[in-house]
Amino acid sequence: MQLQTVRPNIVQAIRAYRVDDLMKAAGDAGQHFLYANLSQAQSKQDVLEQIATAFTFPVHFGKNLDALYDCMTDLVHKAGQQPGFVVVLEQLPDNPRFDREAREQLLDVFRDAADFWGERRIPFRCFYSFQ
């Protein structure tokens, strides 16, 4: 798989892509690969905690959507020049404690991050799947 075949700043369902192929493509392109398996998450708080752990966010991470955005954008931007990102959110919950609205709010943070990086001409591709 070549990342050049996927728009550079997008959030989309993983569909036909395989996690291993995305990881390899990110490595081949010299980009960061961030992966979170959320199959054990049941609530928004669980999702945020598991993302924070998987992405090795700082201990002071606020476990809210604003803090998630800050960690995915400003914090990383201040760390220096970035080569690009491939993010995989696998098995997002689909239950009353993490309903469609909660999922859309979470994905909106990643869409906003894609826009942030796009303005800086840094590729940010996020793929997700549901349980």
127 Cβ contact partners less than 8 Å away, ≥ 6 residues apart: 11, 12, 13, 14, 17, 22, 86, 87, 88, 89
47 close to 39: Cβ distance less than 8 angstroms = no
Entry field: residues in the chain: 131
Confidence band for 4, pLDDT divided at 50, 70 and 90 = confident
Nearest to 37 by CA among 46, 26, 24: 46
pTM for this model (two decimals)? 0.93
The domain 3-130 is classified under which CATH number: 3.30.370.10, 3.40.47.10, 3.90.1330.10, 1.10.240.10? 3.30.370.10
pLDDT tens figures, 88-128: 999 999 999 999 999 999 999 999 999 999 999 999 999 99
- In whole angstroms, what is the distance from residue 44 CA to residue 106 CA? 9
